[in-house]
Amino acid sequence: MIELDKLTKKFHQKGKDVVAVNEVSLTVDEGQICVFLGPSGCGKSTTLKMINRLIKPTSGRVLINGEDTTGIDEVTLRRNIGYVIQQIGLFPNMTIEENITVVPKLLGWDKKRCHERAVELMSMVQLEPKQYLSRYPRELSGGQQQRIGVIRALAADAPVLLMDEPFGAVDPVNRDAIQNEFFQMQRALNKTVIMVSHDIDEAIKLGDKIAIFKDGALLQYDHPDTLLAHPADDFVSGFVGQDSTLKRLLLIRAEDAADNAPSVLADTAVADALELMEEHDRRHLVVTDAQKKAQGYIRRRDLRGQSGAVQPFLQTFNATAAHDEHLRILLSRMYEFNRSWLPVLSADNDFLGEVTQESIADYLSSGRSRGKSSIVSPAEQVAV
Amino acid sequence: MDFMTAFQHIDWAQVVSLTGEHIALVGVAVGLAIIIGVPLGILMTRFPWLAGPLQGAATVVLTLPAIALFGLLLPFYSQFGQGLGPLPAVTAVFLYSLLPILRNTYLALSSVEPGIREAGKGIGMSFWQRLRMVDLPIAVPVILAGVRTAVVMNIGVMTIAATIGAGGLGVLILTAISRSDMATLFVGAVLVSVLAIVADLFLQWLQKTLTPRGLKAAR
C-alpha cells in the first residue's frame, strides 16, 4: 500500500516560486495499479519521483505499507521500490542476467539464488532464459529490452513498483502484448504499482484507479469507469475525450449490461411462446433446457400460424457473448454478424440474459459505474 | 660510403638504453597523468562546477610550447637541486598528458545516457556503485583513447627533454645534430616514430580488449 500525504514540490525558478506539485494526497491499495494521467508538465512525473526521492519533496510524506519513508536513506528506500522508465536504461556493459540481478547482488544474495531468480523472471515474460540470459542489451529488440527493464525492477521482489511511461517507446503492436504480460505478472505477484502515463487508453486498460493531474494538483482519483462516466470537471472530461462513452465499453462486462430476457423450454407451445414475445415486445426468444443451459433460439416469423411445440423451429446461435467479455468486443461482434442482440452465457453455458443495443444504452445512461463493485480490467480478460 | 658502413660507428648498446629511458620517462609521466587525471575527471562529474576551471587550466598548459614549459619548471626544481634532469621533464609531460585524459574521462562519464543513470539511481545504486559497475566500464574505451593521444603526442615531446638533461632518445638526436651525424640522427628519428607507432598499436589493441563485450555486440 502506498499513501501520499500532502506531497508538495516547489521549485525556485527565475526569482519566483513555482509549485510543481501541490499537496497531493492519495492511497493506492496493495496489489492495485494506479495510473497518474495528465498533460506534460502537470506534475505526474514529479509526484512519482518524489516517492523514491529521485526528487526531494518540499513537504508532505510518503508512506509505504504504513511506514513513513522520510527517515529511510535514499539507497535503502530505492532498493525496496522497483523502478521502470521509458528509456529502459539497461546497462550495456552487462549481460541480461547481470542486469536483472544488479539489485539482488547489491542486497547480498548468493550467485545461485540470483541465477534462479533471473530464470524465474525470464520465463514470466516468455523469454527463453538459456537463449537470452547471456546476451547483451543491444542484441535484443526494443520490446524485449523493456521486458528486461520490468523484470529487473521486480528482481529483488520489492512490494512496490514505480513506472514512468514504461511502454511509451514501444511500438503499438508490442505495447499491447507487453501491457498484457505486465498485467498478468502484476496480478500474479500482487505488486502495488504506480504508473505515469499520458495515454488514456493505457490508463483504462491497466488502471484499477486513475489519478488525473493538472498544474500540479490532483483533480480526480477514481476507478476508470467512474472517471469516464462522471468526470469531475470540464478539464477531466476534455482529457478523457469526447468518445469517453465508447471507452467505457472496454470496462463493462456482458453480464453487467445484460437484460433479464425471458427464455422458454423446447417443449413450450408455439402459442405460449408467441404470447410471451408479445408481452415482452420481442421478435425472438432464447430456448433453454430445464437447467437453464442455452439450446438455441426461436424467431417470431417462424412461429406465426404454426402449432405444437417450438422444438422444430429451434435455431442455433451463430454468435454469443461470454459473461466476462467487454462490450466493445460484443458490439463489434453484433455488427459483424448483423445481430441486434446476443445471448450472454456463463462458462457453463447457463443463459444469463441478452445484450441488446437497448440494454447497452440503458447501462451507459443509467449513471451506474463499476467503480464501487469488483474491479475488472480489460487486460485481465485477455489474460484469462 | 655505402649504406651499411654509415651505421657502423653507432653505439647500439647506448641506443637501446636511451630507448629504454625514453619509454620509462613517457611511461612514468603518462602513468601519473592517468592516476591523477581519471579521478579528477570523476570529480568533475560529481561536482560539475569543477569542470570549467580544471579543463581551462589543463588547456592553458597544453598551449605552452614544450621548451618554454621546461624553462618554467627549471627554477622551481632548482630549489630542490633538481633543475636539470628527468624530474622537470616528467612533470612537463605529465601536465601535457593530463588534458586529453582528464577531458576524455569527463566526456565519457558525462555522456553516459541519462536513462542509464536514472535507472541506476532509481533501483538504488549509489554514485560509487554506478561508477564502478556501469559508468567506468562504459567509459573505458574513451578514456583509453585519451591515453593514446597523450602517449603518441608525448613520445615526440619527450625528445625535447634532452635539452634539460632528462635523457631519452632526444640525447641521440641532439648529439647527432651537433656532430652533423646524419646516420645517428636518422636512427634516432626513426626510433621515436616507431616507438610512437608501436605504442599506438598496443594501446589500440588494449582499447579493443578492454571495451566491454556488450558495447561491441552487433545490433
The one-character DSSP state at B11 is -
What percent of chain A stands above pLDDT 90?
64
Name the pLDDT band for B82 (thresholds 50, 70, 90).
Answer: confident
Contact B92, B70 (CB under 8 A): yes
Q: Give per-residue burial for A368-379: e unless 16+ CB within 10 Å, then b.
A: bbbbeeebbbbb
For residue B171, the one-letter residue type is: V
Residue A94: closest CA among chain B residues belongs to which residue? Answer: B214
The closest alpha carbon to B91, from B33, B144, B151, belongs to: B33
- Distant-in-sequence, close-in-space partners of A45: CB < 8 Å, separation ≥ 6: A36, A164, A196
Q: Give per-residue burial for B39-62: e unless 16+ CB within 10 Å, then b.
A: ebbbbbbeeeeebeebbeebeeeb
Map out the domains of chain B with their CATH numbers: 3-212 (1.10.3720.10)
Q: Do B120 and A91 touch (CB under 8 A)?
A: yes
pLDDT at A191 over 70: yes
Contact A343, A327 (CB under 8 A): no
Contact A149, A91 (CB under 8 A): no
- Tell me which residue in A77, A85, A139 faces B119 most closely, judged by beta carbons: A85
Can you give the pLDDT at residue A375? 42
Name the pLDDT band for A172 (thresholds 50, 70, 90).
Answer: confident
Q: Do B133 and A102 touch (CB under 8 A)?
A: yes
Helix (H, G, I), strand (E, B) or coil at B168: coil
The closest alpha carbon to A105, from B209, B170, B86, B125, belongs to: B125
Provide residues of A within 8 Å CB-CB of chain B.
52, 54, 74-83, 85-95, 102-103, 106, 135-139, 149, 152-153, 162
pLDDT at B213 over 60: yes
Does ipTM surpass 0.85 in this model? no
Note whether B213 contacts A: Cβ–Cβ < 8 A. yes
Can you give the pLDDT at residue A383? 45
Give dist(CA B123, CA B120) in Å, integer.
Answer: 6
Helix (H) or strand (E) holding A163: strand A160-164
The closest alpha carbon to A218, from A247, A242, A194, belongs to: A194
Q: Which residues of A touch B123 (CB under 8 A)?
A: 78-79, 82-83, 102-103, 152-153
User: pTM for the whole thing?
Assistant: 0.80
- Tell me which residue in B118, B126, B134 faces A93 most closely, judged by beta carbons: B134
Q: Do B122 and A78 touch (CB under 8 A)?
A: yes
Residue B125: closest CA among chain A residues belongs to which residue? Answer: A75
Per the structure block, which three cell numbers stand in for A68? 513513513
Best B116, B123, B130, B132 residue to mutate vs chain A (most A CBs within 10 Å): B123
The closest alpha carbon to A195, from A237, A150, A158, belongs to: A150
DSSP string, B44-89: HHHSGGGHHHHHHHHHHHHHS-HHHHHHHHHHHHHTTT-SSSHHHH
**Number of residues in chain B:** 219
- Distant-in-sequence, close-in-space partners of B99: CB < 8 Å, separation ≥ 6: B55, B58, B59, B61, B62
Can you give the pLDDT at residue A37? 94
Residue A154: closest CA among chain B residues belongs to which residue? Answer: B123
Give dist(CA A334, CA A336) in Å, integer.
Answer: 5
